Amino acid sequence: MTNMTGSFLPGANNFDTTTVGTLNGESIRADRALYLKLFSGEMFKGFQHNTIARDLIMRRTLTNGRSMQFIYTGRMEADYHERGTPILGNADGAPPVAEKTISVDDLLVSSAFVYELDEVLAHYDLRSEIARKIGYALAEKYDRLAFRAIAKGARQQNPVQATDYEEPGGTQVQVGTGAGALNDAYNSSKLITAFFDAAAALDEKGVSQEGRVGVLSPRQYYALLQEKDSNGIVSVSPLINRDRGGDALQSGQGVLEIAGIKIYKSMNIPFFNRYGVDYTNLPTGTTAPGNVGDFVGAAMEAATADETGGNDYGEITDVDTSGAIDGQYNTSCGLIFQREAAGMVEAIGPQVQTTSGDVSVIYQGDVMLGRLACGADYLNPAASVELYATNSAPLAF
């Protein structure tokens, strides 16, 4: 009887045990080569589809080094030439130059061990799901690093302080005050006013209109999609793109730009010292959803030394979610910025690694890992705007 030739996935070349390459010193067989490719594709897809900040700020790739310089030049003056006098450059030595160095943090990793028996018994693609979640985790961290740097930059003074050539610093726009500050942070009218104030400030400071964006918490974003009359009746906001009709309202998309500023929503911005939303302090008349999980709206604490040399940007903690810890973002409630506001230096990744060979035999499974080495910091404070809801602006740190 003729032997049956099997056909299985994910083998690219079925039953071909020849070596097609190596990974971390281990041989990769041809019949298993597609395992890593599938994992890589899912991880990259998860990362790219969930990171917002990567395409909104300055990004550079670093090779053979631990930090990268960004040069900031100030203004120059123009004057009339006097007949017969040589032109030898401005006497004041303009333009003034400032330097910003961004260092790469420690290696950022997200990994999971996949037991081979679990894969055999599972009725779904276990590796594909894990790969996506690894991409989500890296994207979440990436955005938080970038947004915290922008918030810090909005509180900085002018980077160039040469006499008669001072460059503008960051901007902070007040959304609400007093006891009603929290409600004001979710008030669509006040948010719209804040966007116009921010746009005016960016114009006055000479910041380019290209690449201006705003990032709000999801509840703020959806507040812009609604319009309430004096009786509290909700209707479609005039900010909805009418060309998209009813579909825009149903999908939760379609908000027009406000003052030339494109609007995004994210759970990764500093928001009342938490990420995305503070369920302990919702606006009047709003009920927190049930069973939200302890990671949603978790409080922020000081950064550790693995983040940009220990710069105190504030980080998430999974220990105490009962209230504010660090306090640096207690009143922060939104970001508006232009792409020059912050920079991200990437030394590695995002990349994929997985075990194989003897390691897989010993443990009867594989470790799937996504990694990223990057560092973020503010660049041009004038391009950063922080929205806040309190009587006085947050202090620089």
Contact 257, 208 (CB under 8 A): no
CATH class assigned to 33-71+96-286+293-389: alpha beta
260: left (phi over 0), alpha (psi -120 to 50) or beta: left
pLDDT of residue 203: 95
Q: Where are the domains of the chain?
A: 33-71+96-286+293-389
pLDDT of residue 388: 94
Gap between the Cα atoms of 188 and 174, Å rounded: 14
pLDDT of residue 279: 77
Gap between the Cα atoms of 142 and 152, Å rounded: 16
Cis omega (within 30 of 0) on the bond before 350? yes
Task: Name beta bridge partners: 336.
Answer: 214, 385
pLDDT of residue 318: 34
pTM over 0.85: no
Q: How many residues does the chain have?
A: 397
Q: Residue 293's Cα: distance from chain center in Å? A: 22
> Strands 300-301 and 332-338: what pairing?
unpaired
Structure tokens at 336: 């508006």
- Can you give the pLDDT of all 397 residues of the chain as single tens digits? 444 333 333 444 444 444 444 444 444 444 444 444 455 666 767 777 788 898 899 888 888 778 888 877 777 777 888 898 888 777 666 677 777 888 888 888 888 888 888 777 776 677 788 888 888 889 988 999 999 999 999 999 877 776 777 788 899 999 988 777 888 999 988 999 999 999 999 999 989 899 999 999 988 988 888 765 544 444 445 555 544 444 544 444 555 688 999 999 998 998 888 886 777 777 877 887 877 776 666 667 555 555 544 344 444 433 333 333 456 888 899 999 999 899 999 988 788 888 888 888 888 888 888 888 898 999 889 999 999 998 888 888 7
Contact 207, 340 (CB under 8 A): yes
